[in-house]
Structure 1
């Protein structure tokens, strides 16, 4: 598989440079004249606020056509491999296989693969038993220390696939029976090289944290579709990503030198001129993270992988290889998602030290306002799968407070990336096997 454009010490240098630049930008306004100290924040607020507002309002929550609304020739559907990398998933693997074997698709064009990536629980035994009952299930056993994390496991399967497309799922995924019949035609009709399904949380009613994550997934899908509709890009999210195999192989497969294979692959595809589509319904259903400790661990991985991809691919992302709208979209997204939290932390720290008033609050205010609008759009619209919490005042307030965790996670991860050497591990999210219906 192709090597990553940057790794190891190169990423540490880039992280340190990014941290230094944001720190200076966050502290500098405090040494300006008080009448001018808010100008940088107000200028950015107007610029990025306009981008965010346009993105949310232009979001197109597309639904895959059902058998009742469109007729298609089942004999013309392409061959498809469903691929799952599983490590220590005894709580969900049986349910997973049952869901996958219930999917409607021509049997001679569908193959299912589950990679046991060195599980230490009963996952290997359960998979072997399931393979005896389901002839279409192919099980690959991989040593625990084979390396490459989830990407390494997926590459092991990729070498054996023969389908035109592959659908990558997490072990806790739950799917509607007609998903493939609706997803594949959507990808073909749209001319997409990959399509990401909206992620829906199945256990939103457990507590405030799972409810906030369910709302966050809706917010993310709104922003993704809005970026795409505005001429920008949509990104893969790991669970529920359909990819054309030939394009994936041309892009170098899954990067084994990253902690987030999906985010990295999104940019790999982009640099090869392959675009990712986004489908609102039907969704891929998954479990939320049940506690703060697990959330902190997961979000650190997401933040690190998100920053890595920008550091690794920035020469291409800023070149004429991409359209002007794509470059503008990536620049604004990077400023809002990664620069703003570090700027705000530096701004607050300088305020405490210098005993001055924070200066970047107008930008933060606008960012949270746009997020609130995205929550409202995503949570009030029609959707299939698990119900999304309604965007009432209390739910919105809690979700907004919850969203502020990124203002802690990203500065911390950036500091850690700048100071500590990278140790690549598969920091998987634990799955408990929450039982719900996968129907509409």
Structure 2
């Protein structure tokens, strides 16, 4: 299932080596009684690559090869949803997808009840009786592979040109497929829809998540425009079926199927384009505890893909520009938080001032640049107005990754691989909106 994971196994050893090396980089300037100059140089070099990616203004088309002008042919699309204990939102999603404007022969809906115990399977069976175009597959409780295993259970049944993967809390425009038909003529790359939060007004935490997702899509488009790597985000991802099969399907050994698939697609020469409009709506988590668990899983899966694929990522399979982009964002997202943690420890042990502050400053300025250039006039769920307190709280929110990444890395180094899927619980706020 995963033929290009060149360095599988030894998860704890690789995580321990990565953590020790990164922490040491933060400790060394204190041990050598140096100044912040190494961090200044690192911030300048890293910022030189990443700042241009925050400058793209989203338009109606993604940064991808031009789609053919003839949009008359309706592509065949299989919609895949893996649902585990999603009784609060599943019927709303089914009704939303049944409203999609697309020919019946060109659209098939596939739902996998992944061992649910809350009535999700019964709801899907009832809806299947009323709607022949809805196909339901049941997996027993404890089935292997988590979400990836559920999605793989459907692959042998698919016949469409494209596979659209949605989360159970997703909501899409009824005209989604009509609007994307010109782009779906080109199956040489995958598409990722911008994720838009439909419960942003719930509380401050959901609001900053909505802003974060908009800024993420902006940066993704900027990376692509500068010949970098676009990434799948799990919900709202269109993947050519043949490319997916060629990559071996979904990796059942990962907790982040989207990030893992991104790496394998890139290594097979299939880039990812990001579509700003139309977006896919989803539900942001509404509590600190749920956010922490979700982001710990994202951090673990994000690191695991680099541990598994780094020999291939350094090979000639990636173009030099793409390779530099992957390296730059690996340093920004995973190495820098551990360096900052090592710097904090060094400041305490040697009773000196922190020396990694240039890297922190660069990260905050990069985030502020993306927020400043992020448009708020979009289709789909509105992006919160990005000004004043929202900007300040988003910057504070971004800093929580400085805790998430080190703790996830240390846990990976000390504990056996996680054996239970810690899924995000959906409350169904949109249903009452």
| Pair in the same fold by TM > 0.5 | yes
Deviation at 1:274, TM superposition (A): 0.8
- The correspondence of residues 390-401 of structure 1 with structure 2, limited to 5 A, is 390-401=385-396
Contact preservation (8 Å) 2:69, 2:182: no
Query: Could you tell me which residue of structure 2 aligns to residue 11 of structure 1?
Result: 11
Q: Is the 8 A contact 2:6 2:312 kept in 1?
A: no
5+ residue gaps, structure 2, are 63-67
The 5-angstrom pairing of residues 13-412 of structure 1 reads 13-34=13-34, 37-58=35-56, 60-63=58-61, 73-74=71-72, 76-189=73-186, 192-378=188-374, 380-412=375-407
C-alpha separation in 1, matches of 2:4 and 2:10: 11
CA distance in 1, matches of 2:109, 2:363: 42
How many aligned residue pairs are there? 428
Q: Please, what TM-score do these two structures have when normalized by structure 2?
A: 0.95
Gaps (5+ residues) in structure 1?
Answer: 65-69
Q: Give 1:67's aligned residue.
A: none
- Cα 1:233–1:73 shift into 2, 3 Å: closer
Shift in Å, 1:423? 2.3
Deviations 1:306-351 (A, max 9, x none): 0000110001111121111101101100000001100001100110
CA offset digits 1:132-160 (Å, max 9, x no partner) = 11110000011111110000000001121
Which whole-Å CA distance do the structure 2 matches of 1:73 and 1:323 have between them?
31
Native 8 Å contact 1:258 1:424 kept in 2: no
Deviation string 1:168-211 (CA, Å, 9 cap, x unpaired) is: 0000000001111122422435x542100000000111111000
Deviation sequence 1:238-260 (CA, Å, 0-9, x none)? 00000000000000100000000
Aligned equivalents of 2:321 and 2:4: distance in 1?
Answer: 25
Task: Tell me by how many angstroms 1:118 deviates.
Answer: 0.5
1:105-133 deviation digits (Å, cap 9, x = unpaired): 11111100000000001111110110011
- Secondary structure at 2:108 match in 1: strand
Deviations 1:398-423 (A, max 9, x none): 11101111000000000011111102
- Give how far 1:3 is off: 5.3
The two structures, once aligned, show a CA RMSD in angstroms of 1.8
> Distance between the aligned counterparts of 1:184 and 1:352, measured in 2?
57
Matches of 1:172 and 1:408, distance apart in 2:
28
Closer, same or farther: CA 270–71 of 1 in aligned 2, 3 Å: closer
